[in-house]
Structure 1
């Protein structure tokens, strides 16, 4: 299969930043709670075939103008038949469409037979759910934990630099002060004992919609509840500090979608939601 890929697979141009072949594109549906990358989907196929092939190689054949030839058992750049779909349609989309069709319109016995064929075994009461609920149950088993959540985690770990590795580049792009000074040095080393510096990016309204809380990243130092912090406005400069305010941090949360986990302090490298300082920040977004 490696030779086959070398001869026919779709090449990704170096200037292309996002591509399913690079593993940094995630296919997902929040409605049906499923997600996958080409590599994670290929791993599902490999598991169903007792790992008789390398899923990483198959993944590279699931995108672009490639077609599967059933007679030769390989992939090629030209369709073997006039109505032959591309490999992504044949191996990825059509099986998903078939799951939807069986969950929505087929009889239970037919649906169970298809699910058992691919290793999906549901409880009897699951078949009493509506079509959306049943699809969620099926995809949760088909794609694994959380409907494919490990594929998202793997993508983040592989393609997003950790805070410490990316600190220097982020400081050079965002910080307008002296890049050789002590403050910049603390931010570039992500020193949690250094000067407290935060970069705010957005404001989120509270559940009662009466006030906003500020979301940002701790660039250096550690922020504590009760700290008095200087908020530098857009027009602030070392020569003119008029656009500056001092406010007390009243609340700190780790923001997790619908949930807020209140904490007492947050060290450098982490995102934090801050309460009590929104009055001095004019924009809802940076």
Structure 2
């Protein structure tokens, strides 16, 4: 007998845990929007000065800013382990497929640009959008 177990599991979990929309509602009500939390995020992750145009653009999440700034959260290697897929948050500007960007490493400084290199943006995805 090959039955689809999903409807049964859904019924059991709904009776045991209740309606799952409460979790989604809690996230929507209590987790601040990216615009509202940008100042905190930028203040805790960005090491440069915030008293210039770039700093103000990141705090305001200005999508029309001339430069794009992406905070990389995770790097996922491709199947051949030749390149990476980057999971990150766009702090300001707009990112396009085919755009040339400069990737800054962890040890990058304005005085020593050795830890940076140009790269081309491949495909773009929106992860778990609702």
TM-score range relative to shorter protein: 0.7 to 0.9
1:155 CA displacement: 1.4
In the alignment, the residues of structure 1 paired with residue 31 and residue 8 of structure 2 have an alpha-carbon distance, to the nearest angstrom, of: 34
1:168 CA displacement: 0.8
Structure 2 unpaired stretches of 5+ = none
Q: Does 1:231 align with 2:103?
A: yes
Aligned residues between the structures: 124
1:223 CA displacement: 0.1
1:135 CA displacement: 3.6
In the alignment, the residues of structure 1 paired with residue 29 and residue 113 of structure 2 have an alpha-carbon distance, to the nearest angstrom, of: 42
The within-5 A match list for 1:6-21 is: none
In the alignment, the residues of structure 1 paired with residue 106 and residue 93 of structure 2 have an alpha-carbon distance, to the nearest angstrom, of: 22
Q: Does 1:139 align with 2:10?
A: no
1:175 corresponds in structure 2 to 46
Answer 1 or 2: higher relative contact order, Cα 8 Å, separation at least 6: 2
Given the superposition, is the C-alpha separation of residues 251 and 131 from structure 1 closer, same or farther in structure 2, using an over 3 Å criterion? closer
| Rg larger in structure | 1
In the alignment, the residues of structure 1 paired with residue 5 and residue 111 of structure 2 have an alpha-carbon distance, to the nearest angstrom, of: 64
2:58 corresponds in structure 1 to 187
In the alignment, the residues of structure 1 paired with residue 62 and residue 102 of structure 2 have an alpha-carbon distance, to the nearest angstrom, of: 19
1:216 corresponds in structure 2 to 88
Q: Helix, strand or coil: the match of 1:222?
A: coil
Structure 1 unpaired stretches of 5+ = 1-127, 262-286
Q: Helix, strand or coil: the match of 1:191?
A: coil
1:129 CA displacement: 4.9
